[in-house]
């Protein structure tokens, strides 16, 4: 069984051969240039490879408004987050609808051409409230939104140069790659797991529960832009590698990175993450407690409830919902409120804040929270971080 890409077709916006040479020449010598933000660069790659199917570019006004208001594209296809490119009000005056715009990264490398169909203004406060559920700029997604340009540029893109990466090369698999891998391995039912944190025992518990019902799992950590304080991607990847090496069946788990920026949109990002994993070929998707949440902006299970607003057929991927999980001293193992009859005083559960505090103080998290090998990696990271920050500044030397 091959799961259909969202919208019915896996998009490919990468230009090759003579067409690429001709378009790159025009982009270099004739087109006006627009410098991209980090999130826009991630989005270009994901549009280009079909991870954001059915999107073929950045949203025009009708799609943008429909997504913000109804969680659907104008066509009616489910889509919960705006995917847009911004420009300053003055800067946008130089771009004309119907013309092409060269999109470049921070080094000036031209990545793509935007076939500009429409430029339009938008209400940032409305988007903040409808998409993120708050207008507070303390929310990292809202803060990024408020710092964005005041105009949006919509249109299809043609990608000339994919963003260059020096890290996680063997784990950078496009949707076409993961789909082909699943086919070769004979995996017909694959569950996807999204994470921006090291996998701890609670994650391991729900992953292995899911593995009981499917052929395999795609561990698909996000390695794009995250907020300050999140553990760096290279440390997290080291944790995933040691975990999969020692505690998972090698013939039933695949590790690949998701090169996207974290938006922290809670419930709406849970739907978004599910749809993207569908494009990577997953048939199932794990939704845990406070998926894609930040702070106290979302309820613990809002990311579960939002799936009730859609028919499973129109999402096209099966969500697997998991309750709050912990180690129970009376059960002598991992459990959740759905399976454990014991009082909460028997439950060992640490918040991310508590774990970071322990690591910062040189204490390793207990084995009831995370595997010893992962605790070692995290402890060494925090020890190095602590030593770095304790170094005297040059002004004091």
| pLDDT tens-digit map of 277-321 | 999 999 999 999 899 999 999 999 999 999 999 999 999 999 999
pLDDT digits (tens, 9 = 90+) for 203-245: 999 999 999 999 999 999 999 888 877 788 999 999 999 999 9
Helix, strand or coil, per DSSP, at residue 138: coil
H-assigned helices in the chain: 17-29, 38-48, 61-70, 89-92, 124-127, 140-146, 175-185, 201-211, 233-247, 267-279, 302-305, 312-315, 352-360, 372-390
Whether 39 shows a pLDDT value over 70: the answer reads yes
- Give the sign of the dihedral formed by CA 97, CA 101, CA 106, CA 111: positive
Burial (CB count <10 Å: 0-12, 13-18, 19+), residue 382: buried
Sheet with 347-348: list strands edge to edge: 333-336, 325-328, 347-348
Cis amide prior to 54 (ω within 30 degrees) = yes
> Is 196 an annotated catalytic residue?
yes
Given 196, 201, 236, 277, the catalytic residue: 196
Measured distance CA(395)–CA(337) in Å, rounded: 54
Q: Is the dihedral of CA 69, 38, 203, 337 positive or negative?
A: negative
Q: Are 95 and 101 in contact (CB under 8 A)?
A: yes
The pair of structure tokens assigned to 130 is 């409808």
| Mean per-residue pLDDT over the chain, rounded | 93
Residue 225 contacts residue 42 (beta carbons within 8 Å): yes
pTM: 0.93
* 157, pLDDT greater than 90: yes
CA distance 4 to 387: 50
At 95-111, the pLDDT tens digits run: 999 999 999 999 999 99
- Per DSSP, the residues of 320-354 read EE---EEEETTTTEEEETTT--S-GGGEE---HHH
| β partners of residue 87 | 151
pLDDT of residue 364: 83
Chain centroid to Cα 377, Å, comes to: 23
Confidence of residue 31 (pLDDT cuts 50, 70, 90): very high
Minimum mean pLDDT among 25-34, 88-97, 310-319, 382-391: which range? 382-391
Beta carbons within 8 Å of 43's beta carbon, 6+ residues apart: 52, 58, 83, 85, 260, 261
Query: Which residue matches tokens 């300050």?
Result: 228
- Cβ count within 10 A of residue 146: 14
User: Domain map of the chain by residue range?
Assistant: 17-159, 169-258+264-388
The two structure tokens encoding residue 43 = 């989005």
Domain covering 17-159, topology:
Sulfate adenylyltransferase (3.10.400)
Instruction: Say which of 20, 135, 197, 252 is annotated catalytic.
Output: 197
pLDDT at 393 exceeding the cut of 50: no
Q: Kindly report the CATH number that applies to the domain delimited by 169-258+264-388.
A: 3.40.50.620
Bridge partner list, 258: 222
Q: Respond yes or no: is residue 197 known to be catalytic.
A: yes
Cα separation, 383 vs 365, whole angstroms: 14
């Amino acid at each position: 069984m091959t799961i259909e890409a969202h919208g019915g077709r896996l998009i490919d916006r990468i230009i090759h051969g003579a067409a690429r040479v001709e378009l790159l020449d025009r982009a270099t010598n004739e087109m006006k240039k627009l410098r991209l933000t980090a999130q826009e660069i991630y989005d270009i790659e994901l549009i280009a490879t079909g991870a954001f199917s059915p999107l073929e570019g950045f949203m025009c006004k009708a799609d943008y408004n429909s997504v913000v208001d109804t969680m659907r594209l104008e066509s009616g296809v489910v889509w919960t987050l705006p995917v847009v490119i911004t420009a300053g009000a003055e800067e946008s005056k130089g771009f004309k609808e119907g013309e092409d715009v060269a999109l470049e990264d921070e080094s000036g490398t031209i990545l793509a051409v935007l076939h500009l169909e429409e430029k339009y203004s938008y209400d940032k406060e409305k988007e903040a409230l409808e998409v993120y559920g708050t207008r507070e700029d303390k929310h990292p997604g809202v803060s990024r939104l408020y710092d964005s340009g005041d105009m949006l540029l919509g249109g299809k893109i043609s990608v000339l140069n994919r963003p260059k990466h020096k890290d996680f090369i063997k784990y950078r698999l496009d949707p076409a790659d993961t789909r082909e891998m699943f086919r070769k391995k004979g995996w017909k039912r694959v569950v996807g797991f999204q994470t921006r944190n090291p996998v701890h025992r609670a994650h391991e518990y729900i992953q292995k529960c899911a593995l009981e019902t499917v052929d395999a799992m795609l561990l698909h950590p996000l390695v794009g832009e995250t907020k300050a304080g999140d553990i760096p991607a290279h440390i997290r990847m080291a944790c995933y590698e040691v975990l999969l090496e020692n505690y998972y069946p090698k013939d039933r788990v695949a590790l690949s990175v998701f090169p996207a920026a974290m938006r922290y949109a809670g419930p709406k990002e849970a739907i978004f993450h599910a749809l993207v994993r569908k494009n990577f070929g997953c048939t199932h998707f794990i939704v845990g407690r406070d998926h894609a949440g930040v702070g106290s902006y979302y309820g613990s299970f809002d990311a579960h409830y939002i799936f009730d607003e859609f028919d499973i057929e129109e999402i096209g991927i099966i969500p697997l919902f998991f309750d709050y999980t912990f180690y129970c001293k009376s059960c002598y193992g991992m459990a959740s409120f759905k399976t454990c009859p014991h009082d909460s005083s028997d439950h060992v559960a640490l918040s991310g804040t508590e774990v970071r505090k322990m690591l910062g103080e040189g204490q390793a998290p207990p084995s009831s929270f995370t595997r010893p090998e992962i605790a070692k990696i995290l402890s060494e990271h925090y020890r190095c971080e602590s030593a770095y920050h304790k170094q005297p500044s040059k002004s004091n030397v």
